Structure 1
Amino acid sequence: MSYAPVPPMSAPVQYKNGLGTAGFVLGLVGLIFAFIPIIGVIAWPLTILGLIFGIVGTLCANRGQASNKGLAITAVVLSAIGLVICVIWTAAFGKVVSDTAAGLPTAPASAAVADAGSEPAAAAPSAAAPGKHTIVLDVTTAAKSNVQWNSGFTANSQDVLEKGKTWSQTLTIDDLAFTSVSVTPVDFKLGSKDNTCKITVDGKTVVEQSNSVGAFCTYRP
């Protein structure tokens, strides 16, 4: 009795590691761009995608679903290095901006709050020093309200004023800059009276607004 020969068993098919290859290309390009200031911002998405594709490609290779495991691992390494360089560049740029802002002259400010019904004490006008500018912010509340203001690099946190108060902020600065002040009620009610804000630059009123929902005054030099 003769038996038919048994065909040899074929080796399991391995699939090409497309994700690993894509991750390698993205990681390599991202790493190159990561060394270039400003332009290197495009390295962020490249290195992040390269890292993801490389990790997924490595996992697929470990499960026998893909080949080129070495290429996928290389993609992970290149992408990780590029991402670290991006983080270092971002931290360095942020420190430069922070140091530059800290080195700018800050505007001296003085705030005063008084009852709206009382007469504010008349202050003797003082001439600003040569080359200086004076900006005065005024607010009057008809209800308990939040007050926020900023001028150039100078910004104040929120102040809360009770109903029927006036608030004033005086800034003496070298160069005129974008300035704003807003006053909004803490609990808005229909029929409420208007809050008022005003900005005066070098003795001239440049903007004044009254509104019950929120008064917003902005000055652009």
Structure 2
Amino acid sequence: MSYAPMPPMSAPVQPKNGLGTAGFVLGLVGLIFAFIPIIGVIAWPLVILGLVFGIVGLLRANRGQASNKGLAIAAVVLSAIGLVICVLWTAAFGKAVNDAADGLPTEAAPAAVADAGSELAAAAPTAAAAAPAKHTVVLEVTTAAKSNLQWSSGFSANSQEVLEKGKTWSQTLTMDDLTFTSVTATPVDFKLGTKDNTCKITVDGKTVVEQSNSIGAICTYRP
């Protein structure tokens, strides 16, 4: 009696859990450091990378390529919270520096200069005070795929929306004092071979940061 040969057994496909796990670790460490003044500056790259890795890990879990969906969601949440805390700390520090600079005593003018100033003031009593200079900050995003858009500036709450493929979005901000500003564009459903999203920040007509990336275009400006 002869037996038919058994078909070869295919090896099971291992889940791609690496990015979701790495995003969770980076997001957790970044969130811890984000609460520490001064030292918290190192949290910036940690929470940004944790957010990107967590999003990619979540996309893999949704496609059945990874089995740690809960860990990837935790990575996105922890990294997003850490990023918000970093933004708030940066804005608070910048405001404190500006307030301290405004509170410094000014050197008294020499008598001759003071007298000349008094004479000019008497000659032109109706001269108007100069208006404080304002800055214009423009945020721009161009999408190569349907993407999640998120931007923030100073103490303002994060603004989020979804942009369709091939859309160009812009936001113009006017501020007396420049403050930390960021804008990101991440695909809703990342696929290999997707073209790059692009983000750009312009301050007073000058481009200060521009980035293109298929996983997540992230532009941050620190005055």
TM > 0.5 fold call: no
TM-score range, shorter chain: 0.3 to 0.5
Structure 1 length normalisation: TM-score? Answer: 0.44
Q: Larger Cα Rg: Structure 1 or Structure 2?
A: 1
